[in-house]
Amino acid sequence: MPSSPSLRGVNYDVFLSFRGADTRKNIISHLHKELLRQGIRTFKDDRTLEMGDCVPRRLREAIKTSRFAIVVISKNYGTSSWCLEELRMIMKLELDKKIVVIPVFYDVDISDVRNHRRSFALIYHHQSPKIPSWKEALQRIANTQATESRKCKDDATMVEGVVERVSNMLLSMLPMDIGDIVGMEAHMQQIEHLLDMDFTTNEVRMVGIWGMVGIGKTTIAKNFYEKHKHHFKTHHCFMEGVSSLKKHGPLFLQKQLLSNILGKEDFKSLSLGQGATCIQSRLVNLKSLIVIDDVDDVKQLDALAKEASWFGSGSRIIITTQDKSLLNSSCAVYKVEYVKDDKALQIFQRIAFQGAKPPIVYKDLSISISELAQGLPFALEAFGVYLRGKSVVEWRDALKSFEEALPENIMMELRSSYDGLDKPGRRAFLHVACLFNGEPVRRVRKLLGQGKDGMRVLEEKSLIRVSADGRIAMHCLLEQMGKQIVRQDSDNSPAHQRILWHHHDIRQVLANKTETLTVLPLKGDFEFPRFPNKPSFSTSAIYLTSFSPLSPQLLLTLAAPIPLNPSAADSTISEQTVALATVVTNVLNTSAAASSKP
């Protein structure tokens, strides 16, 4: 799902980039008319005269304040230095995730654009130092998912498809403006209390909105920002998705903050140390509202809002993050909880049926799918958008598919949390997802040999919760993601999985007497009792008795022996019975050999 543009206001939904001489009176005319008909705010430059490669300020601002750029590449697009400079700006914003680019190749071959052939070879005729960056922009747009007129039935069909694509992506970008259905007013009241929005004192207040990925932190922060920014004159800034801008470094963020709060001043000459000093000296006398969204590195906060004393009296600072440990002691914490079942169903149905009353035939399926999301707003939205307009049969197929594997967009969104962990953290996460969800946290700490720190890190990063009775609770979609990661890493081969949890896979591995497992070893002190010779049970299955460091040969632990005889009653092999299972390869022989050494 595309992200909405970051770190600046939005004036237009779409900016049209095109070569006027080629397309103004045909495809652009039709495209512009259809975009407006659909209520999509569109910027189209009506000037017919292009002079040099200096794009006017008016156009630069329009590009920077648009969500999408539809770039229509026609035969003579590359002959215009104006068009090429527009494209360079657009692709730079796209690289920074500030705009979504939709290319349309109109009666041209994409390979000609990519390789600068035919009319696009004329780029070398320009007398400009910008030629290398123009070439790069052409190559990048040629490698972007695009619409090709030569593959469309006619221009009308092509225009319809492009506008529909924009319309659908705009819908998916919209914050879930569903009022009390998602309890937004309750969120507002609690955050307003934490930030003292009655301004009973002149203190600077900071609050961290904390919760797992997709739980609605950004949506809550946006609602608060839009509701209260008028209290701060022009001194307000919503810095969206700062984690995605990490590659640019903290100085980039500092310049963006100063620019947004103070206006169009030039801060290019600032160094990192000067940036922090400048924020303190320039903002200390201003009452500001600043939202720093999706923080995942303490360096980002140190650069932007290390101390409340940096900001003027009455300032309000909001930070959204998945990682509670990043929030300092001066920052109040607001924990975002899952949406309750009845409200979750309403959210899902509103998105799936676009506000219309759901047909009765979809009732049970709607309940099942909303329950699968387990109160996670992002998943409710993703499921709803995916299923919108589909038949009952398609809904049934989708539900079955969702239960087996997460859709790619949900997997990618959730995986960002896993990818941010260090190696021990990933190991702990996968074991919890595959084996220990719902288990007592003290027992899991002992098994994994990580003490309190391992589980605390997962909890601080919103990957698990610990219930009042001391049990681990991981969201079902995070659990499913963890299992998908294990399967994918082994190319879906149980024999090469790091962890086995399903009784069918364990039975298969034991039956095949596989000796090539790569399962991560748990830590513990295990005894290896002899099993009676029962043909229906594996003699390599063992009982778990006590714990200390294991040898590498012990790859997985079985809480109960696995019947290999197909006629054995499956009731003895339920997933509950095999809650903690281990396959041991040659461990008895290895232990015996070791004990016989002098």
Q: What are phi and psi of 585, to 5 degrees?
A: -110, 115
Find the mean pLDDT for residues 560-589: 35
The predicted pLDDT at position 100 comes to 92
Average pLDDT, the chain: 78
Amino acid identity of residue 569, one-letter, is A
The predicted pLDDT at position 535 comes to 32
**pLDDT value at 569 more than 90:** no
**pLDDT value at 398 more than 70:** yes
**pLDDT value at 127 more than 90:** no
Report pLDDT digits (tens) over 161-218: 999 888 778 766 655 444 444 578 889 999 999 999 998 888 999 999 999 999 999 9
Report pLDDT digits (tens) over 25-70: 889 999 998 888 777 888 988 765 445 446 678 888 889 889 899 9
The predicted pLDDT at position 595 comes to 40
Find the mean pLDDT for residues 326-354: 90
**pLDDT value at 397 more than 70:** yes
The predicted pLDDT at position 177 comes to 47
Q: Bigger pLDDT: 110 or 574? A: 110
**What is the distance between the alpha carbons of residues 179 and 167, in angstroms, rounded to a whole number?**
23
Lowest-pLDDT choice from 148-152, 236-240, 445-449: 445-449
Check if the beta carbon of residue 503 is closer than 8 Å to that of residue 574: yes
Coil vs helix vs strand at 533: coil
Find the mean pLDDT for residues 574-584: 33
- Residue 251: exposure state from Cβ atoms within 10 A (0-12, 13-18, ≥19): middle
**What is the distance between the alpha carbons of residues 378 and 336, in angstroms, rounded to a whole number?**
13
Percent of the chain with pLDDT over 70: 78
Which pLDDT band, with edges at 50, 70 and 90, does 367 fall under? Answer: very high
**What is the distance between the alpha carbons of residues 413 and 212, in angstroms, rounded to a whole number?**
11
SS3 content of the chain, % helix, strand, coil (to 5): 50, 10, 40
**pTM summary value:** 0.61
Q: Bigger pLDDT: 325 or 497? A: 325
Return the exposure string of 494-530: e unless at least 16 CB atoms fall within 10 Å of the residue's CB, then b.
bbebbbbbebebbbbbbeeebeebebebbebebeeee
**pLDDT value at 91 more than 60:** yes
**What is the distance between the alpha carbons of residues 88 and 571, in angstroms, rounded to a whole number?**
64
Find the mean pLDDT for residues 257-261: 86
Cβ neighbors of 532 (< 8 A, separation 6 or more) are: none
Angle between helices 423-431 and 476-489 (to 10 degrees): 110
**What is the distance between the alpha carbons of residues 309 and 204, in angstroms, rounded to a whole number?**
8
Region of residue 116 (left: phi > 0; alpha: psi -120 to 50; beta: else): left
Enumerate the active-site residues.
86
Which pLDDT band, with edges at 50, 70 and 90, does 393 fall under? Answer: very high
The predicted pLDDT at position 305 comes to 94
Pairing of strands 66-73, 42-43: unpaired
C-beta neighbour count of 172 within 10 angstroms: 16
Which pLDDT band, with edges at 50, 70 and 90, does 449 fall under? Answer: confident
Lowest-pLDDT choice from 364-368, 401-405, 558-562: 558-562
Give the residue from 113, 108, 107 showing the smallest Cα distance to 87: 113
The predicted pLDDT at position 507 comes to 66
> What would the 3-class secondary structure string for 216-256 be?
CHHHHHHHHHHHHHHHHCCCEEEECCHHHHHHHCHHHHHHH
Find the mean pLDDT for residues 110-139: 84
The predicted pLDDT at position 510 comes to 60
Report pLDDT digits (tens) over 512-552: 654 444 444 343 333 333 333 333 333 233 333 322 333 33
Find the mean pLDDT for residues 117-129: 77
Check if the beta carbon of residue 157 is closer than 8 Å to that of residue 31: no
The predicted pLDDT at position 241 comes to 87
- The DSSP element (H or E) to which 453 belongs, if any, is helix 451-460
Report pLDDT digits (tens) over 277-331: 899 899 999 999 999 999 999 999 999 999 999 999 999 999 999 999 999 888 9
Check if the beta carbon of residue 538 is closer than 8 Å to that of residue 562: yes
